[in-house]
Amino acid sequence: METDMIGGSGGQPAPAKEVLVRWAQSASYMPLMYASTSPVDTTDVATGQKVDYDQQTVDLCRESVARHERLAPYIWDQVRHTLRTGDPIVRPLFFDYPQDKASYTISDEWLLGPAVLAAPNLTASASRDIHLPPGTWYDVNRGRTIKGPVTLASYATPLTVTPAFVNLRAKGAREALSALR
């Protein structure tokens, strides 16, 4: 599983700032991260006009790329695990938590291997609800430990925040924490 190219296909208009940033943030929690639209020196193919994304857009996209780069050793461990077991690298919550009935209806959160739960904001809302399955989770953004199962209602997601959590008891947790702190 992966997102399409960040920015979509080259034949489409350049995405709005928030769409481009959220796309990059989401892709940073996938095995592959690649883009068709850069926040720097982009021309909108639909209009032929240069797109001037602001410095915040550039910085947040770079931050997403840097996060993915820091996660690369953890992701590589997941690739090796997948080759041995056939387990997917990116999976729905219920894959690892089949007894957690709430996880069966969640389509906008996923696990990157067993240790990382990604819950990026994929809407224009300033907050979102986040479900954490059973376990002890470390909130990467807020630096706190949370006992699941629990649903975090109205978790604040300004454009600068990409919600992610590390299952402290999962294989690879130490490596994931090191990459995400």
Secondary structure (3-state) at 144: strand
Secondary structure (3-state) at 167: strand
CA-based nearest residue to 53, from 35, 69, 28, 73: 35
State the pLDDT at residue 64. 96
- Read off the pLDDT of residues 79-88 as tens digits, 9 standing for 90 and up: 999 999 999 9
The amino acid occupying position 55 is: Q
Instruction: Locate the domains of the chain by residue range.
Output: 17-180
State the pLDDT at residue 9. 63
The mean pLDDT value for 16-34 works out to 92
The residue among 47 and 11 whose pLDDT is bigger is: 47
Fold topology of 17-180: Immunoglobulin-like (2.60.40)
State the average pLDDT for the chain.
92
